[in-house]
Amino acid sequence: MDKTLKIALTTGVMTLGIVITATPVDAATMTTQQQAFVNKMTPAILADTSKYGLYPSIQMAQATLESGWGQSTLSTKANNYFGVKGAFNGQSVTMWTTEYSGGKPYSVQAQFAKYPSAYESVDAQGKLLKNGVSWNTEYYAGAWRSRAKNYKEAAYGLQGRYATAPTYAQLLINLIEEYHFDQLDNDGYKNGSYYLKGKPASGYINDGNGWFWFENGRKYTGFRFYMGTYYWFEKGSRIDNEWRSAWNLQYYVDREGRAVQGDGYKVNGTYYNFGHDGTFFLRGKANGYVNTTDGWLWIENGQRYTGFRKYMGAYYFFINGVRQHNRWVSEWGLNYYVGSDGRSVQGSHVKIGNKVYNFGTNGTFYLR
């Protein structure tokens, strides 16, 4: 990033902070529910098919067909979007399913895998297509990108193997063409760059393995403006609770990854000033009576102070930075009393409780 962002940190004019929802289709062709399903499944499908060498269009069409756009009982109760039978980590559900024999349908009960989320379901289905079955590791090879020239060939590579329905391949092809799922086949990672809608991606994007900041397809390092504030990213990952340097200045990002601002911000027991003008960089350690992240405290050289300090024309006593009230305190071998407003009292006839005390009248404040 060039030095112009230093100005942007002051003016807040950068507008790159946009969440990119990976959607390969024209939303106008879908219902809101269908679009939400595609948005939900796309990151995991792109990651999965890149890993296993499959067609994203095929996996999206399968998920759509097998789960009824995510509305089937199997998908809502078991996060199983592909009708994968068996179990996952010992978890399964038993449901009725339709099979075909000699081209004729019949119903039978079967065990289906139950997944903790859609991501595990997508990965399990991709792994199945890549690794095949125990007696034939290339059982689904007809769907691999290395074997099928396009999604149509891949669809027919699954018919009679993944599903027994005689029209299974054509059903997948129809979905791909009607909803433009084929656009997904140009997306995902290629030569180390991440693509969406056929172009190198930019923005804060879930690539199926987590959220990362991309610029021109590459995971980015540096500050970027997002959702109203500035975050620091390293190789795309948001960094939390860390000091970082940029433009020969120091910054600190909090537990939510945001560049901090304001005076009296505590980092590892020390209070710092980061200013109030939207520039975020470190000014130095806090000093004086400061409204810190722990409330109003007297701070000296970044640390909580104990003792007397003059503030707004009066003397106050602080213990560990906290202003004291209605109590006796000792300093320099002398005794003092601070009242309800925290100020050291003065005068020759000061009543405290049921007694009257003399604290002098010459601005020294100590008990006579």
pLDDT digit string, tens, across residues 266-319: 999 999 999 888 889 999 999 999 999 899 999 999 999 999 998 888 899 999
pLDDT at 25: 54
pLDDT at 95: 86
> Which residues make Cβ contacts (< 8 Å) with residue 63, sequence separation at least 6?
41, 45, 70, 81, 82, 122
148 close to 154: Cβ distance less than 8 angstroms: yes
- What sign does the CA torsion over 144, 147, 151, 155 have? negative
Amino acid, single-letter form, for residue 273: N
How far is Cα of residue 184 from the mean position of the Cα atoms in its chain? 24
**Residue ranges, the chain, pLDDT below 50:** 1-23
Give the span between the Cα atoms of 300 and 173, in whole angstroms. Answer: 71
pLDDT at 228: 81
Please give the model's pTM, rounded to 2 decimal places: 0.64
Give the span between the Cα atoms of 158 and 123, in whole angstroms. Answer: 17
pLDDT at 15: 27
Give the span between the Cα atoms of 327 and 341, in whole angstroms. Answer: 11
Amino acid, single-letter form, for residue 203: G
Of 356, 309, 351, whose CA–CA distance to 331 is shortest? Answer: 309
Quote the crossing angle between the two packed helices 151-158 and 168-179, to the nearest 10°.
150
131 close to 137: Cβ distance less than 8 angstroms: yes
- What sign does the CA torsion over 40, 258, 240, 238 have? positive
> Which residues make Cβ contacts (< 8 Å) with residue 50, sequence separation at least 6?
188, 189
Give the span between the Cα atoms of 53 and 165, in whole angstroms. Answer: 24
Count Cβ atoms below 10 Å from residue 181 Cβ, excluding itself. 27
pLDDT at 27: 53
pLDDT at 28: 53
Radius of gyration of the chain (CA): 33
pLDDT at 26: 56
Of 334, 273, 290, 284, whose CA–CA distance to 308 is shortest? Answer: 334
Give the span between the Cα atoms of 246 and 2, in whole angstroms. Answer: 10
Give the span between the Cα atoms of 232 and 244, in whole angstroms. Answer: 8
pLDDT at 5: 34
